[in-house]
Chain A
C-alpha cells in the first residue's frame, strides 16, 4: 500500500500523467518522513503534498477531521462521505486559505493492538503505556481520558516500541501489520480489537494559487474513482491479522460511547471541525438509523 511499488504511489504517478490535461503538470517526489514533506510544502518547495489525514488537518481542519476517533464505523460509510465531498457544494469546505484538498484516499481503519489480551476493557487500559503520534493532539487527549500513559512516537518508531514492549497498546491500520511486523508485539498473548477507532486517510493538499481553476475538483474525482481498488488492498491486509477479535460480547457499545464522548469533547476543544462531525453523523445515521445517537441532536450543526 505504502511503498514505491504500492497502489498509492502508483496512483500519484497516474495523477501526474493526467494532470497535464487539466492545465498543470505534476512531478512526483518521494519523502521518507511526512513531517519534512509537510514542512517543505508549507515553505513552498512543493506545490502539492500527499499526507495522512491527521497531518493534513493543519491545512484543512474540515477534511483533516475525517480521521477522527470513531467518526465512521465502516468502509461503506467512508465511501459515502468521500462521494459527498466531490459534490460542487462541498468545494468551499475543502479550501482553507491558500490550501485546497485535491483528493482523499482510504488508508484503512485504525485498530487497537494490545500486547496482553487481559487488558480487555477501557478501564484496564488505565496506567498502561500507549504510543501516540506526537503531532496529533486528539490521540494525546484520548490517552489522558482513559488514564493511559501517552508515549510520544511517530510513524517511524511506534511499531518498534510496541514490538519490543516499550508500550502496551498502539493504534494502527491493517496495512501496517505485516510490513511493521506488529504480529510480534501481539504474539500469542495479545489481541487486535476488531473495532475501527478511526478511518485513516491520505489527503492531497495543493497550494491553490499554483493550480488552474477546476484542477482540484478534477483531481478529487480522479482519486476517488479508485476507492474500491484501494479498499481491496486494505481488506487483503486485514485478512492476515491474527487474534483479530471484536470486543468481548456486550462491550462494543461501551467503546462506541467512549469514542463518541471523546469526539464531542475534542470538537468542543477545537481539535475536530464541527461541520465535519455533523456531516459524519448524518452519514452514520443514514447507514445505521437505529443507532441510539440518531435520536439526539449532539454533534449536529444546525
Chain B
C-alpha cells in the first residue's frame, strides 16, 4: 500500500515537473501536500523498521542464538511489512542497540501521527479541502433528473409577485431572484465551491473554454470560492444580516464574474459530466442569468428579439403562430383537435416547424410514422415553444408562461405518449413540466423509430452507402442518457458504416447552440464552437454527419459550409430520421419527393 501511495505521489510529481498539464494550476500547495503524504508514508515505514529491529535486538540480547536478520525477516515478511523489513535489515547494519532502534521507531511513530493531524488542519485552507468535503458533496448531490432546472416559483403569477416585491426594495439586486449576491447561492452551491479539486477537467471539456471564450468553469468556481473565503472572518463576526450592513455587498456579476463568462455557457453539461466530485455548474450560471435578466435587465441585446418573439408568437423565429403547421402541407397530418385520442402526440417543436431545413426532419418523421401506421396527431397552432431557450437564457417568467400554456393544452388532451424531434423539447417536457403538473411519457424520435424498427413496422431495406459519424446532442445524451438508440437506428441501415468522433457519447463536444446561444452572437474566441465540432466529426473520414437535433443540424451545416474549401469531398449533414427515410422502401402512396430527389 505504501508503494501504491508513493507511486501515486511520483505520478503527480511527474505531472508537475515533466508532463505539465494545461488544465492544472501549479502552486506550492500541491508540493506541500505531496511532501506531507510522502513523508507520512516514509515515517510509517521507519516506525515499522525501528519497532521490528528493536524486537529483534531484544530477542538477540535474551538469546544470543537468535539471528537478528532472520528474526526481522521472519516477523516482518510474515506481517506483510515489506518496506519496513527491508529498512530494518538496512538499519541493522548500523544499529546494534535495541534502545536506539526503538528511538528510531519512535521518531517514525510521532512524525506519522503528528503529520496526519497537521495535514488535517491544513486541509481547510487549500484545494485539498475536498478530502473532507467531497464525501458530503457527493452525498447531497441532486437526485432529480439531470436535465431539470429547479423552478423559482410554483406559478408564473407567484413569480411576478416575487419580482414585484424585489422592485420595491431600495436595492432590487439584493432580492433573491436568481443569484445576484453571494448570499443568494445556496449552502450546497457554497459546498460545491469548497469541494473544487481544481483538476480542471470541467474547463478541459467546456466547449466555450476550448474555443477561447472567457468562460472557464474551473475559474468560475475558484473565483466565487475565493470571494467567499475573503468574507469568512466577517461571516464569523456577523450578527445581523439586515440591509444596512450586507455581508456580501458586491454583485456577483460583474464585480466578481465577468458577464461574458456567464453568457458564453452553452449549458451542455460537459463540465458536470466530467467533475469527479459532482459539482454542478449549469444551475449556478442560469441562476446568475436569471438575476441579470429579471432584476437588472442586463443581457445580450440579441436576446431581446428572441424574448419578444417567444412572448408574441410562441417561437423564437418570430413567425406567426398560425403558420406553425405549414411544414406538413400535403402530408395530411391529423391535428389533436380532430383526433384527441391519438396514440401518439408528435411534438414537432419550433425548429422543425419554422426552419426550412429542419422542416425536412419533421416531414421525414411523419412519412416514417405513416409507413409504420402509427396512430399519431400534432398540435398544430396549439403548440407553442416549450420555453427552453427563455429558461436557459434566464427568463424564467417567460418560460413559465409558455410552459403553463403548454401544460394546459397537453393536460386537456392527456396524450398517451409524446414523441419529440427536438432534444430540448424532449428534456423540458420530460424533466421540467412535471414541476408544473405536466407528467407525460416522452420519447425522442430516434428512440421511437428504433422501436418501430424492432417491432418490424419499419424495414430499412434500401442500402445507403455512407460512412456516418453520429453527433451526440447534449440534451439527448448527457442530459438524458440517449446514446444508443440513434446509433442502433443508423446501424440498422444497410450500407451504413458507423464511425465515432474522438469525442463522443458523454464526452461529445457541444455544437454551440444550447443555452440560448442559438439566439446570441457567439463571443469572440479562437474558434467557433460549431467549427470545432464539425472538424472533429469530419476528421473521422465520414461522408455523412448524422444528428438527432435540429439545432445541432443548423450548427453543423454551418460548420460544413465554413470549411467547404478545406473538405476533400463533400460531407452531407442529415438527421437520423432523414437517413432512415432514405433506407425505407415506402409502400404508402405518400412517398417522399425529397427522399427521391436526394437519394
A complexed with B: no
Enumerate chain B interface residues (CB-CB to A < 8 A): none
